[in-house]
Amino acid sequence: MTPLDWLIIALYFSVLVGIVWWSSRKQDTTADYFLAGRDVPWFAVGASLFASNIGSEHIVGLAGSGANNGMAQAHWELHAWIMIMLAWIFVPFYYRSGVFTMPEFLERRFDSRSRWVLSVVSLVAYVLTKVSVTVYAGALVFRTLLPDTFGSPDNAFWVGAFATVVATGIYTVFGGLRAVVWTEVMQTVLLLLGSVFITWFGLSALGGWGELKAALSADPGRFALWRPNSDPNFPWLGVMIASPIIGIWYWCTDQYIVQRTLSARNLKEARRGAIWGGFLKVWPVLIFLVPGMIGYALQQKGLLQIGVDPDGRMLGDMVFPTMVAELLPVGLRGLVVGGLLSALMSSLASLFNSCATLFTVDIYEKLRPGRSEKHLVGVGRIATGVVVGFGLLWIPIMKTMAEGNSGLYDYLQNVQGFLAPPITAVFLLGLAWRRINGNGAFWGLITGFVLGMAKLTVQTSYQTGGLEPGGLLAAIGAFNGYYFSGVLLVISVATIVGVSLATAPQEEARIRGLTFDSVTPEQKAENRASWGWKEAAGTAVVLGLVLGLYLYFSFWL
């Protein structure tokens, strides 16, 4: 890092401070703080969806997955089609209901028990996945780019972890969701520019796209989009089962994502924002995953030196930071590091605000009703720090799992695969069938969450050496996590449907307008008025791009 690189980063933070100052001037109500006053235009909604999703764990972890596993995890990055589901299926129900959170929507549809369970599950999920993984990935960048600045690479790792958390926490606390959304508009530009540059310079150093294909063709099975079902890590059937389950949970039911659409000016802007976010989501395969494969090819040709573990295996999660440090010229390096910091801070800021919203609206306000708007905003700010603390405590455990398996991104998808199935089942069945009741939703969530956490506990113990091979627990720990997601979905669906049919149905008047078969004529008219040919054309473009990428990468090697 040169003085010019640091100057570029300083300019980035100056703009950030300006946005936060502007955003902090109006934070009087919970709608201001948690939903940016419900006045966000569609392009900012879409950019915020993209930037919230693409954190440092994506840039670092997805590039690492590309180096270690090729295209195997591209399926998760082609979820733009699921964002189309968000736009056309889920957003109309959420936006019309006027809710602040997804647990609040479940209470409207079912009862308060489901709201409590989803609130707790969501907060636990944020600690186990988003906080720890995002901070860990950002700290890797510090360890690679500033290895001696703080005395040693390990010191740089921990200084980076704590410094970014504190800086992001400060601007989130003061600026609320308005600061989060508008900083993410700027961060989206930096993310795209930075990743395009690293891809360009990587390909130039390698000799072009043909050289990349030639280097990967020596081991096509390793880099293929589709793996045989005998593959221990990415069997194609397991991947195709798990990735849509995780995708629907993440993009269509997770507070962390959906909160951006709830902040839109109206239903039309919310729908258009989700479609625009889907268009942006098409590109990570090319600008985040492909650089990892470029890094692998550069190392194979002796043009790049990437760290290895004690067994001599390349540390995939070090590929992107190493490419930034070794390939980029002065000045541009600062821009790309700014993009990495943007990724880290945008994801953390979104997470902090979502955690504050969940705790304040779904837990604190339920326990202590009647508090003033100003008081609730203060509680939301305090709640952020607690979640961050738990996430930091989990980092050492997560670090061991990420480095001992297929990498950071694989860890992330496995954990999400254990959390997502019951939530996906409850939302899909709840919207599709009015006969699903509160009892079914509650016991489906409880059953799925307990089984998912049990699998995570056993698998963590097995992969870190706490369980010896042999025996039932070891077999459960070794069972492929992607297949387990499918098993857990089936169990959750069976529980929800079985308990619902065995108990009394809900009152029709209570759930009117909250399921497809109970939408009123007025709601149908409002829904139809919220889209036109532009939204239809945007949808066709996104779906066409996803299909094109699938076809190309299915046969490219």
Mean pLDDT (whole number) for 198-219? 88
DSSP letter for 226, please: S
Contacts of 382 (CB under 8 A, 6+ apart): none
User: What is the Cα–Cα distance from 257 to 247, expressed in whole angstroms?
Assistant: 11
CA dihedral over 197, 198, 199, 200, signed as positive or negative: positive
Mean pLDDT (whole number) for 233-255? 91
Sorting pLDDT into bands at 50, 70 and 90, what band is 397? low
**pLDDT confidence of residue 36:** 63
Mean pLDDT (whole number) for 281-295? 87
Q: Give the rounded percent of residues in the chain with a pLDDT score beyond 70.
A: 87
Give 425-447 pLDDT, tens digit per residue.
999 999 999 999 999 999 999 99
| Res. 487: pLDDT tops 90 | yes
| Res. 287: pLDDT tops 70 | yes
User: What is the Cα–Cα distance from 546 to 138, expressed in whole angstroms?
Assistant: 29
Contact 83, 250 (CB under 8 A): no
For the chain, give the mean pLDDT: 83
DSSP letter for 237, please: H
Q: Which residues of 496-515 are buried (b: 16+ CB within 10 A; e: fewer)?
A: bbebbeeeeebeeeebeebb
Give 20-72 pLDDT, tens digit per residue.
777 666 666 666 666 666 788 999 899 888 887 876 667 777 788 888 888 88
Give 505-528 pLDDT, tens digit per residue.
998 888 888 999 888 899 899 899
User: How many Cβ atoms from other residues are within 10 Å of residue 433's Cβ?
Assistant: 15
Contact 418, 486 (CB under 8 A): no
Sorting pLDDT into bands at 50, 70 and 90, what band is 543? very high
For 114, the token pair is: 């489901």
Q: Residue 433's closest CA among 361, 506, 503?
A: 506
Mean pLDDT (whole number) for 328-343? 77
Contact 264, 47 (CB under 8 A): no
CATH number assigned to the domain comprising residue 298 = 1.20.1730.10
SS (H, E, C) 464-527: CCCCCCCCHHHHHHHCCHHHHHHHHHHHHHHHHHHHHHHCCCCCHHHHCCCCHHHCCHHHHHHH
Structural domain contains residue 240: yes
**pLDDT confidence of residue 128:** 67
Structural domain contains residue 99: yes
- Helices marked H in 405-437 — which ranges? 408-432
| Res. 89: pLDDT tops 80 | yes
User: What is the Cα–Cα distance from 215 to 327, expressed in whole angstroms?
Assistant: 19
**What is the Cα 54 distance to its own chain's centre?**
7
Distance spanning both ends of the chain, measured CA to CA: 37
DSSP letter for 198, please: H
Q: In angstroms, what CA-CA distances link 43 with 96, 195, 270, 286, 512?
A: 20, 21, 10, 22, 32
Mean pLDDT (whole number) for 489-500? 97
- Strongest mean pLDDT among 320-329, 449-458, 460-469: 449-458
Q: Residue 141's closest CA among 130, 156, 162, 163?
A: 156
| Res. 391: pLDDT tops 70 | no
Q: In angstroms, what CA-CA distances link 92 with 97, 224, 520, 534, 536?
A: 8, 38, 13, 17, 16
Sorting pLDDT into bands at 50, 70 and 90, what band is 310? low
**pLDDT confidence of residue 31:** 67
Q: Residue 422's closest CA among 398, 461, 449, 388?
A: 449
Q: What are the strands, taking DSSP E only, across 215-283?
A: none
Mean pLDDT (whole number) for 187-215? 86
Structural domain contains residue 27: no
DSSP letter for 146, please: S
Element (H, E) at 100: none
SS3 27: coil
Structural domain contains residue 32: no
**pLDDT confidence of residue 275:** 96
| Res. 228: pLDDT tops 70 | yes
Give 457-484 pLDDT, tens digit per residue.
888 788 777 777 778 888 888 888 889 9
DSSP letter for 303, please: S
**pLDDT confidence of residue 223:** 86
Sorting pLDDT into bands at 50, 70 and 90, what band is 281? very high
Contact 298, 205 (CB under 8 A): yes
**What is the Cα 59 distance to its own chain's centre?**
12
Hey, which residues does 264 pair with through a beta bridge?
40
| Res. 209: pLDDT tops 80 | yes
- Residue 515 sits in which domain range? 3-20+42-363+370-554
Q: Which value, in Å, is the radius of gyration of the alpha carbons in the chain?
A: 23
For 91, the token pair is: 């957003």
**pLDDT confidence of residue 431:** 94
User: How many Cβ atoms from other residues are within 10 Å of residue 371's Cβ?
Assistant: 13
**pLDDT confidence of residue 466:** 74
SS (H, E, C) 308-374: ECCCCCECHHHHHHHHHHHHCCCCHHHHHHHHHHHHHHHHHHHHHHHHHHHHHHHHHHHHCCCCCHH
**pLDDT confidence of residue 493:** 97
Mean pLDDT (whole number) for 183-202? 81
Q: What are the strands, taking DSSP E only, across 115-194?
A: none
Structural domain contains residue 30: no
| Res. 218: pLDDT tops 90 | no
Element (H, E) at 87: none
- Count of structural domains within the chain: 1
Which tops the pLDDT comparison, 551 or 158? 551
Q: What amino acid occupies position 80?
A: A
**pLDDT confidence of residue 544:** 97
**pLDDT confidence of residue 408:** 58
| CA atoms in the 13 A half-sphere facing the CB of 432 | 9
Q: What amino acid occupies position 307?
A: G
Which tops the pLDDT comparison, 138 or 254? 254
